[in-house]
Structure 1
Amino acid sequence: MHQKSVLISGAGIAGPTLAYWLKAAGFSPTLVESAPALRSGGYVIDFWGLGYDIAERMGLLDQINDVGYRVREMRIVGDGSRRLAGFGTDTFTELTGGRFVTLARSDLSRLLFATVKDRTETIFGDEIVDLRQQADCVEVRFRRAGLRRFDLLVGADGLHSAVRRLAFGPQTQFEKELGYAVAAFEARGYRPRDENVYIMYGQPGLMLGRFTKREDRTLFLFVFTSDRDALPSRLELQKAFLREKYRDAAWEVPRILDELERAPELYLDHVSQIRMGHWSKGRVALVGDAAFCVSLLAGQGSALAMISAFALAGELARAGGRHEEAFARYEALLRSYVEAKQRGAERFAGAFAPKTRWGLLFRNQVARALAFPGLAKLLIGRDIIDRLQLPDYDWAAAETAG
C-alpha cells in the first residue's frame, strides 16, 4: 500500500492516541483541533484497565503517575460535614492489581499529544465544515484552510462530534440522555483542603463533589437531575442556573457558589450516551465518545477512547490499509465490550445523584459495602475488570509493509 493519509478530527484523548499508532503502522496522520491550543484544567478521571495498558505501551506510565493523584478515600458527607459513608481506594487497588491512578483529563491529553506533536501535522483553531466521500478519497473543507483530500477521515471529536453530524446525521438520532446534567469548575485558594480525598455531598436529585488538586486548586463537580430542555450557553446564565438549582443545599454549598461567581469558565452539559448502529461509513470512521460515548459519569471514557484508537489503528495495519475490512473488524472486536460498558454506566449514573431520600440511603449503604474488597468485587467487579483481550498487532511488520 502507499502511505495512506488519515485526517483525525480532535486532539483530546482518542485523536493523539490514534495518530501515535497510525504512525507506528506506517500511515500519515494529520490532526485538526477546533480549539486554538490544547485544553487545560477540567475534571479528573480515574484511569485503569486496558487504557492503562496502552499508555504503558506508549511509554507514558511514569509521566502519568507523576502528574496523577493517589486518592485514598471516597467520602460521602451530610449537611454538617459529618461522614455518612465511604470507602478507601484499597478496594480499587485490589481489583486493578495496583494499576489505577486519578489524573486530570487535560494532563492525559497533553502527555498523549507530546508523543506525536513533533512528527504529525497538527492544525489548531480550525474545523471541518463539509466533507464529500469520493471513490478514492474524502474531500474535506476546513473553515480556514480550505479544501484538502485524505484517504480516510476519523472523527475523534467527542460527544458533540462534527464529523458524526456531517457523515451520519444529527446528534439527536444517536443520543440517549440519562436524565442528569453535570457542571464543573476550578477555584484557587479554597479551604478546607482534604488531600487525596474525593468528597461528595448530596440531596435528592443533586450532588456536589469536591477534590483538592495541586497548586492550591480545588475542583468542584455538580451532578443533578435534568430534563431534555436546553441548558443555558452564556456563562452568566449558567452560573444563575446552578445557583437556583443548589439554593437550598447545605454543607459548603453557599461558599462554593460564591467561588462559582468568580470562575472565569465553567463546563455544563447533559449526561448522555451515543448509540449507533455502525461506527463507520465508507471512508469515515468514529472512535471514542464520537462513536459510543458511555457518559462522563461512567469513569472510563478516556480509557475507551484510547482502546478504540489503538484497535482501529491496529486493524488498519493488519488489513494493509483496506479500510472496509479494517473498519468491520474494529467494530466486531469492540461492539459487545462497549455495549456492556454503556449498560454499566446507566446503572452507575443514578449513584451520583439519587432522586429520593431512600435512594440516597441505599447509595450510602452500597458505599459502606465497597469498603470490603470481597463485597466490592461482587458489586462492581464486572464494571471494573476488563475482560477484553486486545490483539497483539505487529506494528513493525505493518510499518515495513508500506
Structure 2
Amino acid sequence: MKTVLISGAGIAGPTLGFWLKAAGFEPTLIERAPALRSGGYVIDFWGLGLDISERMGMVTEINRVGYNVREMRIVNDRGRRAAGFGTELVTELAGGRYVTLPRSELSRLLFEKIKASAEVIFDDEIVGLNEQPDCVGVQLKHSGERQFDLVIGADGLHSTVRKLAFGPMQQFEKDLGYIVAAFEVRSYRPRDEDVYLMYGQPGRMVGRFTLRDDCTLFLFVFSANDDSLPSTLDQQKNTLHRTYAACGWECPSILKELDRTTELYFDRVSQIRMSNWSKGRIALIGDAAFCVSLLAGQGSALAMISAYVLAGELAQAGGRYQQAFDKYEARLRQFIEMKQRGAERFAGALAPKTRWGLCFRNQVIRAFAIPGLAKVAIGREMIDTLRLPEYDFRRQHH
C-alpha cells in the first residue's frame, strides 16, 4: 500500500498529499487546469482549519496573505449603513483566531508544501477507473494508463472521480436554490479597507471587498429556480445584468466592471449528500464527498479536516485501506451533517427572498450588538465540536 493518486490540486488534494507523504506513502497529484487557479473568492478561516495549518507550519504565511476584516456592513440603496457588526465578535467566537484570505492563496500555500516531494501532473485528468483486486487502473486523458494502490477524489463539487466511481452528480446534489458569482477588478472606486460591504434586494445580494494591489472582489448571490446554468461567459454576464438591472447602490458601476472581466466564477449553490464516501479502493474528501455549499464559508477548513483525518487513518491502518476509509467516515459524518444543516439556514440569511426576510435579517444582525446574543445565534455554527485526532505520521507503511 504505497501509491495514491489524488485528483484535484485545490485545498483538499495538497493537504492530503502533505500528510500522506509524512506517513510514508507516495502521493501523485493530478489537476486538470494547466496551473493553479487564481482569483475566485475570499474565505473566512478559523478553528480546526487553522489548527491543521499550524501543524503544517503555515500560519505565519496565512496571516501574511490574509486580511483582518474589521466590519461586515449592510448598506441601503444610497450606500448608507443599514446594519452590520464588528468582526471582533466573530473573532471572539472563533477563540481569537480568525482570518479572511483569498481561497486561491490558501491553495497556493498548501501546494508549496507538497510540490517538491510529490509527483504533480497539471493539464491532465482521469477519464476512466477500473478497480482490480490489487490496484486501480486509471485511464488518464493525455498520459495513458497508470496503476495506483488507491485513488482519492479531491476534485470538488463537480468531481470526476465521484462521477466515474459512484454515478452522476444529480444523484447526490441538493440544490439550495441560489447561484453564486464572483470576479475581481483593478482600480475600482470607492475602496473601503477591511470592510465587507453587502447590499441586498429580495432574493439578490451583492458584496464588495477591497483586496491588496488596488484590486476589488465582487460577490453575487441570487435565488434561482431554473435548473439550467448559463454555460458561456456572455450568457452568465447577461444573467447577472438581468438580475441586478433594477438594483441601487453601486450596481450600475459594478455591472460596467462585469462587462470588462474575462474571468468569472459562476455556479449553483448546492450540497453533496452521499451515503458512502468510499467504494473499494476509491474514496472522496472535501467538496467531492460532502460539499456544504460555498455560502457556508467553511468548505476549505472542512476539506483540510477530511484530508488530515483520511491520511491519519490510512497511516494507522497499516495497509487495511477499507478499515481506514470506514473510520474516516465514522469520525466525520455527524460533524459534516451538522455543518450541512447550518449551511442551509445560512444560504437563506445571505439573500432572503422577501422584503420581510431582508428586514428580519437586518434586525437579527443589529441585535448582534447585544452582548451574548451573537453567541446564541451563530455560536453553534462557529464553534467546532470535533476534536482533531492525534496521529503518528512518522511510521513507514508497506
Q: CA deviation at 1:373?
A: 4.4
Match for 2:24 among 7, 23, 26?
A: 26
SS in 2 for 1:71: coil
SS in 1 for 2:13: helix
Match for 1:237 among 235, 238, 254?
A: 235
Letter in structure 2 aligned against 1:45: I
TM (norm. structure 2) is 0.99
Q: Contact 1:67/1:107 (CA < 8 Å) preserved in 2?
A: yes
Mapping of residues 285-300 of structure 1, within 5 Å: 285-300=283-298
Q: Contact 1:87/1:371 (CA < 8 Å) preserved in 2?
A: yes
Letter in structure 2 aligned against 1:183: A
Match for 1:73 among 71, 74, 77?
A: 71
Q: CA deviation at 1:387?
A: 1.0
Map of 1:355 onto structure 2: 353
Letter in structure 2 aligned against 1:234: T
SS in 2 for 1:214: coil
Letter in structure 2 aligned against 1:47: F
1:84-138 Cα deviation digits (max 9, x unpaired): 0000001111111211100000000000000010010000000000000000000
Q: CA deviation at 1:300?
A: 0.2
For residues 372 and 211 of structure 1, the distance between their equivalents in structure 2, rounded to whole angstroms, comes to 26
Letter in structure 1 aligned against 2:359: L
Mapping of residues 1-400 of structure 1, within 5 Å: 4-396=2-394, 398-399=395-396
After alignment, is 233-242 or 63-72 more displaced? Answer: 233-242
After alignment, is 371-380 or 356-365 more displaced? Answer: 371-380
For residues 360 and 325 of structure 2, the distance between their equivalents in structure 1, rounded to whole angstroms, comes to 43
For residues 193 and 321 of structure 1, the distance between their equivalents in structure 2, rounded to whole angstroms, comes to 54
SS in 2 for 1:115: helix
Q: CA deviation at 1:372?
A: 3.6
For residues 172 and 242 of structure 1, the distance between their equivalents in structure 2, rounded to whole angstroms, comes to 25
1:209-245 Cα deviation digits (max 9, x unpaired): 0000000000000000011421111111111111011
Q: 1:175 to 1:185 in 2, by over 3 A?
A: same
For residues 91 and 185 of structure 2, the distance between their equivalents in structure 1, rounded to whole angstroms, comes to 29
After alignment, is 284-293 or 262-271 more displaced? Answer: 262-271
Q: Contact 1:91/1:373 (CA < 8 Å) preserved in 2?
A: no
For residues 249 and 15 of structure 2, the distance between their equivalents in structure 1, rounded to whole angstroms, comes to 41
Q: 1:373 to 1:42 in 2, by over 3 A?
A: farther
Q: 1:37 to 1:128 in 2, by over 3 A?
A: same
1:362-385 Cα deviation digits (max 9, x unpaired): 100111122344111111111000
For residues 23 and 78 of structure 2, the distance between their equivalents in structure 1, rounded to whole angstroms, comes to 56
After alignment, is 27-36 or 229-238 more displaced? Answer: 229-238
1:112-169 Cα deviation digits (max 9, x unpaired): 0000100100000000000000000000000000000000000000000000000000
Runs of 4+ aligned structure 1 residues displaced above 6 Å come to none
For residues 197 and 368 of structure 1, the distance between their equivalents in structure 2, rounded to whole angstroms, comes to 16
For residues 373 and 186 of structure 1, the distance between their equivalents in structure 2, rounded to whole angstroms, comes to 36
SS in 2 for 1:199: strand
1:337-381 Cα deviation digits (max 9, x unpaired): 000000000011011110001100010011112234411111111
After alignment, is 351-360 or 370-379 more displaced? Answer: 370-379
Letter in structure 1 aligned against 2:356: W
For residues 320 and 285 of structure 2, the distance between their equivalents in structure 1, rounded to whole angstroms, comes to 18
For residues 172 and 229 of structure 1, the distance between their equivalents in structure 2, rounded to whole angstroms, comes to 11
For residues 8 and 195 of structure 2, the distance between their equivalents in structure 1, rounded to whole angstroms, comes to 32
For residues 111 and 285 of structure 1, the distance between their equivalents in structure 2, rounded to whole angstroms, comes to 24
User: Please, what is the CA RMSD of the aligned residues?
Assistant: 0.8
SS in 1 for 2:18: helix
Letter in structure 1 aligned against 2:313: E
Letter in structure 1 aligned against 2:339: K
Q: Contact 1:177/1:228 (CA < 8 Å) preserved in 2?
A: no
1:41-96 Cα deviation digits (max 9, x unpaired): 11000000111100000000000000000000000000000100000001111111
For residues 142 and 90 of structure 1, the distance between their equivalents in structure 2, rounded to whole angstroms, comes to 48
For residues 362 and 185 of structure 1, the distance between their equivalents in structure 2, rounded to whole angstroms, comes to 29
SS in 1 for 2:372: helix
Q: Contact 1:77/1:84 (CA < 8 Å) preserved in 2?
A: yes
Q: 1:336 to 1:8 in 2, by over 3 A?
A: same
Give the unaligned 5+ runs of structure 2.
Answer: none
Q: Contact 1:91/1:372 (CA < 8 Å) preserved in 2?
A: no
After alignment, is 142-151 or 219-228 more displaced? Answer: 219-228
TM (norm. structure 1) is 0.98
